[in-house]
């Protein structure tokens, strides 16, 4: 059985999947990278993917899920700091990205250092989008191990900087002629990308076990009577969230159709309609997300327990069926 972990994008709401993952480690007594054959992430999910699989000097996971969760509380406020000066200079994000990437880059350097993609302890797949060629971009450990150029085997700091370059929030990452932005523009939920990659890596395997972690869903139910006469101004704010939510829900539908049953689990919290944005790192919102995540873990006690038992017992059974992944990285898996 091939075990796959997929983690959605969602900014500071990465606290939610980090809480679930800390519970996985607590119940199994194993690090996340030992529970899954493939870990995929978009945006904040990419942060988690990299930090969960970066090795220490002894070849063991450098960070536990609980430590990564704490990092959101420690650094979130600084990364998403809204200074009055920058707000004026960027016209509130209308003229330039809302945030400078410098604080994020310092944090990534602190936690990821000079580690490269090929060094991750478990296969990871992290999404980005290349604006220079209009193609999806997949950072993959397996590709990095056989292609050693700076674009093929980048630093993990570069991988994460690319996948978190959400348009209007952070500027893109320029890397060897490529202009990379947040993979959430096409795969806010990377579960289907992860499944396709796993099928390529393990063509002889017949059983796949997928755990998909969301970062919270805001439901805005609007009847036609309310939006019938909406124009560009009315749609400008909700359209982005609408498209991301719809895309994620579509992937969930596809995964249930492809795998379904007991081998596919999706954890997604419902947030209040008035919940703040993915960049709200205020103490109030962080506490709220913390409570929501802990309550969700408690409510899903039985489901998590079943998943942990399966992962603890079956991890490693797929290694003998693995073959070399196809040698490409761009618009196809």
Quote the pTM value.
Answer: 0.92
DSSP state of 1: -
- Whether 183 is in a domain gets the answer yes
- Whether 45 is in a domain gets the answer yes
Q: Could you tell me the CA-to-CA distances from 114 to 40, 111, 124, 243, 311 in Å, in that order?
A: 21, 10, 17, 36, 31
- Whether 281 is in a domain gets the answer yes
Give residue 197's domain range.
2-222+242-321
- Whether 27 is in a domain gets the answer yes
In the residue annotation, 182 being an active-site residue is answered as yes
- Whether 328 is in a domain gets the answer no
Contact 210, 191 (CB under 8 A): yes
* CA pair distance 272, 221, nearest whole angstrom: 12
| CA count, 13 A, side-chain hemisphere, 235 | 9
pLDDT of residue 84: 53
Which residue is associated with the tokens 């017992």? 313
Domain count, the chain: 1
3, 43, 142, 265: the catalytic one is 43
pLDDT of residue 87: 55
* CA pair distance 40, 122, nearest whole angstrom: 10
Which residue is associated with the tokens 């618009």? 331
173-175 and 178-182: which strand pairing?
antiparallel
* CA pair distance 192, 6, nearest whole angstrom: 9
pLDDT tens for the chain, 333 residues long, are 999 999 999 999 999 999 999 999 999 999 999 999 999 999 999 999 999 999 999 999 999 999 999 999 999 999 998 765 555 556 555 556 889 999 999 999 999 999 999 999 999 999 999 999 999 999 999 999 999 888 999 999 999 999 999 999 999 999 999 999 999 999 999 999 999 999 999 999 999 999 999 999 887 777 888 888 888 877 777 777 777 788 888 999 999 999 978 999 999 998 887 777 899 999 999 999 999 999 999 999 999 999 999 999 875 555 545 555 555 555 444
37, 130, 153, 182: the catalytic one is 182
Residue 306: which CATH number? 3.40.1090.10
């Amino acid at each position: 059985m091939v075990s796959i972990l997929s983690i959605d994008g969602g900014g500071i709401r990465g606290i939610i999947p980090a809480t679930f993952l800390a519970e996985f480690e607590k119940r199994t007594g194993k690090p996340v990278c030992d529970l899954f054959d493939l870990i995929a992430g978009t945006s904040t999910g990419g942060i988690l993917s990299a930090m969960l699989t970066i090795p220490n000097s002894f070849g063991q996971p450098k960070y536990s899920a609980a430590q990564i969760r704490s990092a959101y509380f420690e650094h979130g406020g600084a990364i998403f700091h809204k200074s009055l000066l920058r707000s004026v200079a960027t016209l509130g994000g209308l003229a330039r990205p809302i945030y400078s990437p410098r604080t994020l880059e310092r944090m990534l350097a602190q936690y990821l250092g000079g580690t490269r993609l090929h060094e991750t302890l478990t296969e990871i797949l992290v999404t980005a989008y290349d604006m220079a060629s209009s193609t999806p971009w997949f950072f993959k450990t397996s590709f990095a191990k056989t292609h050693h150029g700076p674009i093929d085997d980048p630093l993990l700091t570069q991988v994460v900087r690319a996948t978190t370059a959400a348009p209007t929030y952070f500027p893109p990452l320029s890397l060897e002629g490529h202009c990379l932005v947040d993979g959430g523009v096409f795969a806010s939920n990377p579960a289907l990308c992860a499944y396709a990659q796993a099928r390529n890596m393990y063509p002889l395997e017949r059983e796949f076990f997928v755990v998909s972690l969301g970062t919270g869903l805001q439901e805005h139910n609007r009847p036609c009577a309310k939006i019938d006469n909406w124009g560009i101004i009315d749609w400008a704010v909700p359209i982005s969230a609408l498209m991301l939510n719809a895309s994620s829900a579509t992937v969930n539908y596809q995964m249930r159709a492809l795998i379904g049953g007991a081998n596919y689990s999706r954890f997604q919290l419902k947030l209040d309609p008035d919940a703040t944005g993915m960049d709200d790192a205020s103490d109030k919102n962080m506490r709220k997300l913390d409570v929501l995540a802990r309550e969700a873990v408690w409510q899903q006690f039985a489901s998590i327990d079943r998943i942990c038992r399966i992962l603890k017992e079956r991890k490693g059974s797929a290694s003998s069926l693995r073959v070399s992944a196809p040698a490409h990285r761009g618009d196809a898996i």
